[in-house]
Structure 1
């Protein structure tokens, strides 16, 4: 039940706190189109407000829609209001939740879940026949609640000024909501709650949280009367605590103290349970029996569990978190907010005084966040983006939000919808996208089901959809293979490991999806209405369908259980199992942690299936690339699906232009030493560099300049070449010379000659390796009679003379020959004469004849 569930006997005896505020609320809505009502738990707002407004003149016989965040709350509220009118559900009061509707022609109050409102708005934006929309428990800030309010505000603005909106909550920061509703009046009602004692019992630093919860629950059951409500973050923790409590009930507490009484019922309560099991958990037990209800946050505010006097709160909640960086959503366990903790504590004081055990310290309590984060800020926004596109507002900024959708996550959602063909390039919904939205599934699953129908695999797709939308059916297995879950659904193979009640519920849900999608299974398991399109082989069918739902998570094996996802991120199978060696996987569930996401649920996929069913997304590309190790251009043709290379083959007939471009790029990357520089070519470059140093208008042939312009000066000569071996045919001297005009060549020979003629008559080559100091390496005896240092570049630059011994070993370096003859020659002569006594060493080198022999030839 809901906040109506304060106590049926008390309600029958007299007024509830909300009753005193109802006249003021009627007046507010008579005068204004919107209002905000804050009513503490136990005030009775959920069941008294809709009934009190039924005869309002402004309603004029129209319907009231009241949104509840959970199906259990919607059904419970409708039953209670119908009972208070002495009617069955489906009369004046009815409900609509996913796959369960009880309304009739006389229904005036429809209690619906938030997603149902979105569908109603899409079908009729004006909500014709609806006079009031109530958003109950709005503080929970579910995504569809925020979306529904934004759409209703625009509908009110554009189509129905007279449409009333009422936002109700128990722990809401009401002022921002009132401002969003255009300065709506704010009404506050006190609740009626009994005193609740708070006991702080901090979590132990060692051991599991579940053990601490069990110990605390057993102690509380012994110390206090009434039933216990135990808050846990998820179904997994609920199952573990349930096992521990049943063990304590059957065989003592195993060292934890006295066991649990045999007559105490241990009942789980979470969203995925069948309605009958949920109803059993929230109902009062008979006579003197007691119960322990193990619940997620489903019992926090929307539901009252009757008979509860004890609350044990572990202080944790599980919320969805979406990562725009990876495009993946995951459930994250986080500390509850202070508001949630107070809501949980209040469950113990709804019907009588109670006690709340908190497994944290008072210091930690002061550090809790005041309110929980809106789901909109951390959820997968693909469903919201599709709804907005169909609504006509591709830009969420055009709507009024209490918390706008994060831009990065929204952009990623739009990109996914384009990949699923739900949106066109301009962001408009396609016919396929419209059909996806009408199914009411997550866009991924809706796309999978619609694509599966013409393949005759619609029934299988619906079964996969319920498996993917629910908690893991085989929680004890470490296998990631979703086909094992299908076997369990059909009672095959590992079926005995599955909870029979869960199997029965999922089978029923799958049949509902088939009905909604117009699919009826045939005896052989194929769906009727299949087209002539060839379906995949049975072993590959699951992989193909998962890949349709999660095209961004197709993965390619790269060894040792590691895979590459289509988007470029890594993923891994943590434990060795058959699917670790699959060449391709369609992954449905990933844990976004570290550099490689952990694969939790997948199916094998073959290359043939990828090529057949994703042909429109596969790109054929030609890569012509220089390979450094081979020192050659290699041309390859690839079939690529995102980051995945599906096929690769060598190309012998690649585009010559691309080959030349890759060759030039390889030379630029690896360096000009790949080119066959002869001694003549190197000298020519050095001479040209020297001229450029003295005249910037000359061609720059430095490494940097040549690499920057390599396509201009080398491109015309490399046609048909692919490798370094081919490059050896180039004449680099001729290529360098081609960079000069005829006049520049003449000037180069004059100003920067290749050789100098020395007094002995020899032509000695100049070394231009250092353009700032060209070198003339010559034997000393060949310079006799030369008074001044030779100069080049129009006399601007003296050469550096390396004087050599008769054995061509350096003995002196100078740029001032006159000074050498005057000061240093005699010391050098003394040394050389001692080492080379047969050679000619005159006392006056300026008057002596130069020679390239040991002694000058005799004069004739």
Structure 2
């Protein structure tokens, strides 16, 4: 890197990227007086890499090589190589945007594409471009699109050079062991572990998605096969001593099985391992923007991750890999893991950019630019937390939040808790939510109450609830994190959590609400413990949860998806606390709406907090126009669902609309009385007739006939009687109603004997439209339908006459219907 300030290094697992490259570059002339900072995606890998490099130099960690991770630092004035987790770099940039004492920044395992790695690289490239053109950047990975990264790092010398090393990989024998039918992955994994222990003499590394699967697999590993075998678990939240035990060689005469999450996928060497078992699953966070929640999803690993895992078996000697899926499924794996920036909550990224004075992320260089919608939502949350002002710039409060190693919600909680004199409790809550749950349950459903957890922490893990088991190491870990957060938030020596400010478990709910104002929830009516969140989402408590009757909750964790997620961790909050903290956000709403259940207009005054109704009273003096609008909305809704038939129209009003529709079908200058048109103009034609209507039943008394007539000017009203008469006189003297239900074919239904003498079909619409004659038998049943009466008399009439004269002998059936007298009566009996 002497000639260029940017470079990309591709090398397979085990090639020595993580531990050899920093040491090899440390003494380069261009690094004189500066140091190397290497970013690792995980705390466990950062500690392990620093420890291994220090051991190569024959030193303790913290001398030439040190590390900084959240809550822990091992560096000194002598340190030339700092291994840090990616969140640490952002804070380094915040305190020194030019990174003056750093000569080289290395991004290790960049293929994992963590959110902090993408952000860190974007900010370092920005610093290099504007402040330190001599600052060198090296991106390293085992599986990476080097061309794309090379283009991203391009400077005046063109794309960054890509260095490739084949490394040294020992042969790996691969076996496929798909789960049996109806077999859970834990059972398959335990079965294949026993198979591997029988077939080999080496230690075994097993990849599982999470701690729950690790625990269930460990429970299955009992019996003779496991004699002399020690089972370890490995994940990022474990105590350091247990992590070291999992990574260290097995004791002489014993073997080990390490059940690991994806933390062992890169950068770590688990001593003694020659066998890798990969269940093919990984647990990744995915942000649900609609609910404002980050949920863990169990997904298939990518092909790149599967190859990384397989490669752990051949780092130091020939190895064996077991994949717990069918071989033909290999081609269905995605080529690479989705970048976290695509699926993540962007509030931390937005805060760190704001702290750097950047409001528009598109001004930086990214492999994947943050999506506009989630980024805007993240800035909206920051504004709600007081981190951004009305102009979108970071506030002093926001800068304090950015300085803490916490996500923005919890940083806000800790700072405000300190301002209220409740820092011990605030730091404890933040630590409890950052770390794994300290509560275990012996066969009982888990309880959601965060106060149980704060009480356990305050009592140093002494349990009081029946059936509750406490993770002692978890308590210790959370205590350490809480102490560190308290010191960072307010300063002070050790045990700040125990001595600075008050700790009242009853305040847990109000402090949680500061971090999760959008997840304040109100109990719905009914027997089930169902809740409505302020953001409009639904949630439900598990049966028998202790918070069953809480009228209001502040919710920290939810599991599952819509319509109702399960509440995992929450605390009760009182209405008085809500008014105190969010009183300026309460909205007074005057609401007039149609109640579909009672079929009436309801006018109310509500106090709202988001989607939650805090209180409600009758609004007795609501504006008549608002009441009318609610009725109109109800009518429109019914029209959309059921058409005109939904309205309580009189028979005369229905027939008037049909006549108007008939004329409109033949002359578009007439009013449109279709459902869509009536709905669109409802206020104009029906509104004046709805004065005082407040219930659906009252609509029956509305003069709908007159309302529909109002759509026609006076000339059309009189013309309607001519163009579409309601009745027509027939030769018998009867006056028969016309049916206009089919606007293209109006119908006259009349007894055949009443139209004797009519030689042609009668017409309407000023002689432009023939009526459809529905000729009826004496029993009022249709015997012929025709629009050609003359043709009927000439032909079909004689067939009808022949068929019916015997059935209806008292009715005339003349041979010449054109000269016969029309009649509506039968002959007298006996004639």
**Short-chain TM bin:** 0.7 to 0.9
Aligned to 1:386: 351
- Structure-2 residue corresponding to 1:160: 132
- Cα distance 1:126–1:780, how it changes in 2: closer, same or farther (>3 A)? same
2:278 match: 314
- Give the equivalent residue in structure 2 for 1:467: 432
**1:255-270 equivalences in 2 (<5 Å):** 256-257=224-225, 259-261=226-228, 266-270=231-235
Conserved 8 A contact 1:297-1:317: no
In the alignment, is residue 304 of structure 1 matched against residue 269 of structure 2? yes
Q: Tell me what 1:515 maps to.
A: 487
Partner of 1:376: 341
Conserved? CA contact 2:753–2:822, under 8 Å: no
Q: SS of the counterpart of 1:187?
A: strand
Aligned to 2:509: 543
Residue 716 of structure 1 is aligned with which of 688, 708, 712? 688
Alignment of 1:67-86 (within 5 A): 67-82=39-54
| Cα deviation digits, residues 642-699 of structure 1 (max 9, x gap) | 4444444433222211111222233344356787766776676676666656654444
Q: CA deviation at 1:358?
A: 1.8
The aligned runs of 1:255-294 (5 Å cut-off) are 256-257=224-225, 259-261=226-228, 266-284=231-249, 291-294=256-259
Distance 1:365 1:91 in 2: 48
Shift of 1:33: 0.8
Match among 384, 405, 408 for residue 440 of structure 1: 405
Alpha-carbon distance, 1:513 to partner: 1.0
Quote the offset at 1:503 in angstroms. Answer: 1.0
Query: 1:591 and 2:555 equivalent?
Result: no
Matching residue within 215, 225, 235 for 2:211: 235
CA distance in 2, matches of 1:121, 1:643: 40
Distance 1:419 1:832, change over 3 A: same
Query: Greater shift after overlay, 746-755 or 633-642?
Result: 746-755
TM-score w.r.t. length of structure 2 = 0.79
1:415-458 Cα deviation digits (max 9, x unpaired): 54455444467654444433322212112222332343444443
User: Is the counterpart of residue 177 in structure 1 residue 153 in structure 2?
Assistant: no
Q: Map 1:121-140 onto structure 2 (within 5 A).
A: 121-140=93-112
Instruction: Tell me the SS of whatever aligns to 1:167.
Output: strand
Alpha-carbon RMSD: 5.1
Structure 1 unaligned segments of length 5 or more: list them: 1-28, 856-860
Look up the match of 1:13.
none
CA contact (8 A) 1:231 1:297 kept: yes
Alignment of 1:442-461 (within 5 A): 442-461=407-426
Distance 2:776 2:204 in 1: 106
Query: 2:787 and 2:166 mapped to 1: Cα distance?
Result: 104
1:579 corresponding residue in structure 2: 547
1:198 maps to which of 155, 158, 173: 173
Distance 2:123 2:220 in 1: 46
Bigger shift: 30-39 or 218-227? 218-227
The answer to whether the Cα contact below 8 Å between 1:683 and 1:767 also exists between their aligned partners in 2 is: no
Question: Which residues in structure 2 correspond to 1:400-415 (within 5 Å)?
Answer: 400-405=365-370, 409-410=374-375, 412-415=377-380
Contact 1:314 1:358 in 2 (8 A): yes
1:274–1:739 Cα change, 3 Å = closer
Shift of 1:619: 3.8
Bigger radius of gyration, 1 or 2? 1
1:103 to 75, 78, 96: 75
Equivalent pair of 2:424/2:500 in contact (CA under 8 Å): no
1:492 corresponds to 2:463: yes
| Partner residue of 2:635 out of 643, 656, 667 | 667
- Give the deviation of 1:240 after TM superposition: 4.1
In structure 2, do the counterparts of structure 1 residues 660 and 346 end up closer, same or farther at CA, with 3 Å as the change threshold?
Answer: closer
Shift of 1:322: 0.8
- Measured after TM superposition, the shift of residue 388 of structure 1 is 2.9
Using a 3 Å threshold, how does the CA distance of structure 1 residues 680 and 122 change in structure 2: closer, same or farther?
A: same
The 3-state SS of whatever aligns with 1:67 is: strand
Deviation at residue 603 of structure 1 after TM alignment = 3.0
Q: Distance in 1 between matches of 2:87 and 2:324?
A: 35
Counterpart in the other structure of 1:11: none
Output one character per residue of 1:463-496: Cα deviation in whole Å (capped at 9) or x when no partner: 2222222222223352232333333323232497
Deviation per residue, 1:772-830 (Å, 9 max, x gap): 6586999999x9999999987667678999999999999999999999999999x99x9
Residues in 2 aligned to 1:702 and 1:230: alpha-carbon distance in whole angstroms? 69
C-alpha displacement of 1:116: 0.7
Q: Match for 1:651 among 607, 610, 619?
A: 619
Q: 1:801 to 1:458 in 2, by over 3 A?
A: same
Contact 1:203 1:209 in 2 (8 A): no
Structure 1 residue 164 displacement after superposition:
0.6
Instruction: Report matched runs for 1:759-774 at 5 Å.
Output: none
Q: Please state how far the C-alpha of 1:115 moved relative to its aligned partner.
A: 1.0
Kept in 2: contact 1:319–1:331 (CA 8 A) = yes
Counterpart Cα distance in 2 of 1:450 and 1:608: 22
